Amino acid sequence: MTIVKNVTPCNPNASEEVKAVLQYLSDISGKGIITGQHTLTTAQKELHYIEELTGKLPALCGFELLSYSPNINYEDAGEACLIEVEENKNTLDNAWDWALNRKGLVTFTWHWFSPFGSRDKGFYAENTTFDASQAVIVGTKEYEALISDMDAMADILKPFCDKKIPILWRPFHESEGTWFWWGNKGPEAAKKLYQIMYDRYTNYHHLNNLIWVWNSPLVEGYVGDDVADVISRDLYPVKHQHSDLKKEYDELVQITPTEKVVALGEIGIIPSIQQLSETHIPWAWYMTWSGDFCTTEEWTTREELYNAYHHDYAITLDKLPKLY
- Say how far apart CA 170 and CA 83 lie, in whole Å: 24
16 is catalytic: no
266 catalytic, yes or no? yes
Angle between helical axes of 141-162 and 187-199 (0-180°, round to 10): 50
Q: State whether residue 283 is helix, strand or coil.
A: strand
Sign of the CA dihedral 102, 11, 173, 6?
negative
257 to 19, 176, 225: CA distances (angstroms): 22, 19, 9
Q: Which residue in the list 266, 278, 297, 304 is annotated as catalytic?
A: 266
- Point out the catalytic residue in the list 75, 174, 278, 298: 174
If one counts every other C-beta atom within 10 angstroms of the C-beta of residue 56, the result is 18
Provide the b/e sequence for 78-103 (b: ≥16 CB within 10 Å): eeebeebbeebeebbebbbebbeeee
Q: How many alpha carbons fall within 13 Å on the CB side of residue 143?
A: 11
* Catalytic sites, residue numbers: 174, 266
